[in-house]
Amino acid sequence: MDFLISYKNYFDKKLSYFIENINFNKDIKDSLSYSLKNGGKRLRPWIISEISNILKIDDFDSVEKLCFSVEILHTTSLIHDDMPEIDNATLRRGKKANHLVFGDYLSLLSGDYGFVLPLKIVSDLKIIDLSIKNQIFSLFSKSTLTLIEGETEDVLFEKLGKTPSKEEIINMYRKKTGELFGLSFALPFILSSKKHVDQYFEAGVDFGIAFQIYDDLKDIHSTKEELGKDINADKNKSTIIKLLGREKSKIYADSLFEKIGNLFIENNLKSFYEKLSNIKSYIEKK
């Protein structure tokens, strides 16, 4: 995991500098920066960066800004997730939730800003080939909307007391978690004009679903300090573990991960898959 820790340290500095040098409302910036600087594994930007390196993409500026954009979008979704109207969380990554520091009103507004800011960053990319730029913007926009749909389904399952089917839960996982991983897997392939973008997008979605299940399994026996967030936060939520049980859920997640491995090994991306396997082991043990 040294490779991910090293990348995180590098990325945190670059992201902080980038945000500080964007000219926008100070109150929004303070709120958004608080959550952006509050850690996280930086897994999604690492995926974009790692695949871009493997594909030998030399448009470093676009790669970096796509990394920033995906992480801003992901973090923004967590700001809204933690608000009293949704999860009413008190902790995020070991620190006070954004709304407890800045108030509900500013968390809501900085979250709104954070959903749109990545699209502005993407629209300003200096990509000469407009067809590539348009494809990136279109996918990013779609993924943003899909993420919000997934969050909505998750909330409504809980608030309305619905008991969803396995297919409905997996579809919610696909939208809420899988979509941004699909985006992260696909962006370098679009940027490098490679074929089979949809195939890699779906691999990313599968990784995201598996990631969500592994994360849920880990949450069951972890302490508040270990998680860095409230324990039992998902006790009223619909999860695949509640429906299938721990063993069958693990088998399902492992089958998705194996499918991803077959794709990457067949396409000479074994080294990337091996790093994903290390990350999987880390998530399961953490």
Residue 19 maps to which CATH number? 1.10.600.10
Cβ atoms of 144 and 74 within 8 Å: the answer is: no
The tally of domains found in the chain comes to 1
**Could you give the C-alpha distances from 245 to 106, 227, 239, 251, in angstroms and in order?**
39, 21, 10, 10
* Tens-place pLDDT, residues 125-175: 999 999 999 999 999 999 999 999 999 999 999 989 888 999 999 999 999
* Model pLDDT for residues 175-229, shown as the tens digit of each residue: 999 999 999 999 999 999 988 999 999 999 999 999 999 988 987 765 555 555 6
Domain that holds residue 225: 2-285
Instruction: Kindly report, residue by residue over 24-59, the tens digit of the pLDDT.
Output: 999 999 999 999 998 789 999 999 999 999 999 999
Cα–Cα distance measured from residue 118 to residue 66, given in angstroms and rounded to the nearest whole number: 8
pTM of the model: 0.94
Q: How distant, in Å, are the alpha carbons of 63, 72, 155, 190 from that of 270?
A: 22, 29, 37, 20
User: Residues of the chain with pLDDT > 90: what percent?
Assistant: 84
pLDDT value for 222: 57
According to DSSP, the residues that pair with 96 across neighbouring strands are 91
What span, in angstroms and rounded, lies between the C-alpha atoms of 258 and 263? 9
How far apart CA 10 and CA 19 sit, in angstroms, is 15
Angle, in degrees to the nearest 10, between helices 43-54 and 179-191? 30
Bridge partner residues of 92 (DSSP): 95
Q: Determine the pLDDT at residue 1.
A: 77
